Structure 1
Amino acid sequence: MKNPNDGFLRGRLRSVKFAIRGMWLLTTTEDSIKAQLFFALIATILGFYFDISNIEWMLQFIVIGMVLVAEALNTAVEKVADFIHPEYHEKIGFIKDIAAGAPSFAAFTSLIVAGFIYIPKIILLF
């Protein structure tokens, strides 16, 4: 909540504090985020192993960020939906299913980017 006594800089610092807290909550409580961070770690290790280019690093981190953002937003939608209507409801289920589609699109896109980056490098090994 915005504090009317905060100046511009203090308000931005409070926002950063809340953002870091949100990232901490996601990484410590949500299995989907933990799984995606694990895959991000594997991709980063592969990037060093295969000595990928700067452009490939940028693309890799963009899709990693995209997946994490989609997972975070999906989690937020699910938490709000569960708060509003804790019991099963067909419309809430529909909303949650749609929200779950976002990280799926992001994950599929990241797999395509990973294929473009790593398949040619793996083929060269054989």
Structure 2
Amino acid sequence: MKKENFIVGRIKSIKYAFAGFFLLIRTEHAIISQLIIAGVFTGMGFYFGISREEWIWQILAIGLVLGTESLNTAIEKICDFIHPEYHQNIGTIKDVASGAVTFAALTALAVGALIYIPYFL
């Protein structure tokens, strides 16, 4: 079997990454909801004229939540594929993955509070 060259392999990887990206934003309700929230905070950032540093923190917080939720979705789909019927251990795995999203969301909430509370006061 012929090994594909490095550049062709990277181009294919990027193609698959964008396919997954668009699949998530078209089909996953949690991602869609979080994108709407991200849009609201982006609008607030423009409205309040937040600083460059605040934009950096906000973008990182949004990326953290969306990335973690994407991994959670992948874990849930793998679990459902491997063991479609209910199993306590699978439930625990899914709960832990969901807990990771909660950590990310609480971190993003703290970042949002640090950025926006001064603007509201």
TM-score by length of 2: 0.97
Residue pairs, 1:2-17, within 5 angstroms: 4-17=2-15
Name the CA distance, whole Å, in 2 between partners of 1:59 and 1:6. 39
TM-score by length of 1: 0.93
2:55 counterpart letter in structure 1: W
The Cα of 1:5 is off from its aligned counterpart by 3.6
The Cα of 1:4 is off from its aligned counterpart by 4.6
Name the CA distance, whole Å, in 1 between partners of 2:119 and 2:49. 10
The Cα of 1:81 is off from its aligned counterpart by 0.2
Task: Give a deviation string over 1:96-122, Cα, whole Å, max 9, x none.
Answer: 000101111100000000000000001
Name the CA distance, whole Å, in 2 between partners of 1:105 and 1:92. 20
Residue pairs, 1:44-63, within 5 angstroms: 44-63=42-61
Name the CA distance, whole Å, in 2 between partners of 1:111 and 1:11. 38
CA RMSD of aligned residues (A): 1.0
Large movers: runs of 4+ above 6 Å: none
What's 2:40 paired with? 42
% same residue: 51
Task: Give a deviation string over 1:14-40, Cα, whole Å, max 9, x none.
Answer: 000000000011111100000110010
What's 2:112 paired with? 114
What's 1:79 paired with? 77
What's 1:98 paired with? 96
